[in-house]
Amino acid sequence: MSTTSPKTAIIGFGSSDISRRTSKGITTLAVEAVKDALVQANLSAADIDGFVGAPWATNVDAVHADGADEISWRPLAKACGFTNIRFGVDHFRGYATDMVATAAMALVANECRYIIGVRALYNIQGIENESSHGARQAYGNEQFITPFGYSVAGARFATRARRYMELNGITREDLYEITALARRHAARNPYAIWKEKSVRLDDYMTAPMVADPHCLYDCDMPVCGAAAFVIARSGDIPHGAVSAPVLSWSNHLNPEAVFKEAGLKPSDIDLCQLYDGFSTMIPEWLEAFGWCETGKSLDFIKDGKAELDGTLPLNTFGGSLGEGRLHGIGHLREAYLQVSGQADERQLSNANRCLVQIGPFDSSSFVLLGHH
């Protein structure tokens, strides 16, 4: 096991309210999250000299406007009153885990002292499926999928899920266990849009089908909300701030590196936050990292191993299926809260190391928070 001390740590995390609809604009939501993060980190706007963002709206083919349904770092930095930014970057089609990796590298390179990362989404009514292209022209890889309706996320992941089910004898009754777990954990999350709504098996089985095998309850819900974190070098943690060390990071091209760089194995992980834009994304990583055998991840969940008191608690805040679609920054927030001992009634007694995975199987990135 590596004995090298972590060089960086998340030192504060803030959130706005999360809702299906709101009268607040995306800038207001993002500024609320930033202010909350600064309070948690015991810093002021003048202390921030770096900014990382990921302005990727929920439907990349729809009409988008900076400051409407997504927001980039430049206008947001101005709205937050940041005047000392010397490093700023946006990850297009990136995730909160990519933001952490970029910020950590900038800190280790001594480019900045305190970096803030922000992810905000606004669910504009009526625009979710409105194409900005009219009769679309497809180029590159798109030319092989767009004419067949395969470019829509629900269709792409549904075909992958159906293949997994056929190979492993999985039924929709089995898939229900993922949604049920998400709702149970969401019940303890004050931010979750589904915190007061459980789903019975008969409700699940009769729900409208989005793209077979995914019904309505297998898909995360578009929401309006924002979250922000502050990250710093381990030697620059302000007095009063509660930290969660960043042990390592990696991406889908080399998933094992997130453990190897930290001198750990998957079996050393106490809990994990796995991206669940669709329910069937979860089994892939549970099995890929060897936490259960191929085709046995639903049994793993049925047997209670993913519960708060299980052997590997999973998405302890309810995941995107329980909280709403913020493209994974909720997963990072929960990892920070658990590792730093601030998860309130969800807090695990053993949360020393938490893996965060965000993104589809073929474009994921990872961050490991915790202590050696």
Q: Per-residue pLDDT tens for 102-146?
A: 999 999 999 999 999 999 998 876 655 454 445 567 778 778 877
Q: Per-residue pLDDT tens for 279-292?
A: 999 999 999 999 99
Q: Residue ranges per domain, the chain?
A: 8-127+223-246, 146-221+252-370
Q: Are 331 and 325 in contact (CB under 8 A)?
A: no
Q: Are 79 and 115 in contact (CB under 8 A)?
A: no
Res. 179 pLDDT band, cuts 50 70 90: very high
Degrees (nearest 5) of the Cα angle 12, 95, 372? 55
Of 133-137, 193-197, 241-245, 300-304, the one with minimum mean pLDDT is 133-137
The one-letter amino acid at 252: H
Res. 165 pLDDT band, cuts 50 70 90: very high
Q: CB neighbours (10 Å) of residue 245?
A: 21
Of 81-85, 136-140, 321-325, the one with minimum mean pLDDT is 136-140
Res. 1 pLDDT band, cuts 50 70 90: very low
Average pLDDT, the chain: 91
CATH for 146-221+252-370, among 3.40.47.10, 3.20.110.10, 2.60.40.10, 3.30.110.60?
3.40.47.10
Model confidence at 3: pLDDT above 50: no
Rounded mean pLDDT, 225-229? 97
Structure confidence at residue 60 (pLDDT): 54
Model confidence at 220: pLDDT above 80: yes
Structure confidence at residue 68 (pLDDT): 67
Does 8-127+223-246 match 146-221+252-370 in CATH topology? Answer: yes
Structure confidence at residue 236 (pLDDT): 98
Rounded mean pLDDT, 355-369? 94
Model confidence at 153: pLDDT above 90: no
Instruction: Give me the phi and psi of 353, to 5 degrees please.
Output: -140, 125
Cis peptide before 213 (omega within 30 of 0): yes
Model confidence at 64: pLDDT above 80: no
Rounded mean pLDDT, 307-328? 97
Homologous superfamily, domain 8-127+223-246: Thiolase/Chalcone synthase (3.40.47.10)
Res. 6 pLDDT band, cuts 50 70 90: confident
Q: Are strands 87-90 and 214-215 parallel, antiparallel or unpaired?
A: unpaired
Model confidence at 303: pLDDT above 90: yes
Residue 102: C-alpha distances to residues 46, 76, 198, 225, 262 (Å): 21, 18, 37, 23, 17
Residue 372: C-alpha distances to residues 83, 237, 309 (Å): 36, 18, 22
Query: Quick one: three-class SS letters along the chain?
Result: CCCCCCCEEEEEEEECCCECCCCCCHHHHHHHHHHHHHHHHCCCHHHCCEEEECCCCCCCCECCCECCCECCHHHHHHHCCCCCCCEEEECCCCCHHHHHHHHHHHHHCCCCCEEEEEEEECCCCCCCCCECCCCCCCCHHHHHCHHHCCCCHHHHHHHHHHHHHHHHCCCHHHHHHHHHHHHHHHCCCCCCCCCCCCCCHHHHHCCCEEECCEEHHHECCECEEEEEEEEEEHHHCCCCCCCEEEEEEEECCCCCHHHHCCCCCHHHCCEEEECCCECCHHHHHHHHCCCCCCCCHHHHHHCCCCCCCCCCCECCCCHHHHHCECCCHHHHHHHHHHHCCCCHHHCCCCCCEEEEEECCCCCCEEEEEECC
Model confidence at 278: pLDDT above 90: yes
Model confidence at 58: pLDDT above 60: no
Model confidence at 202: pLDDT above 90: yes
Structure confidence at residue 300 (pLDDT): 98
Structure confidence at residue 263 (pLDDT): 96
Structure confidence at residue 328 (pLDDT): 95
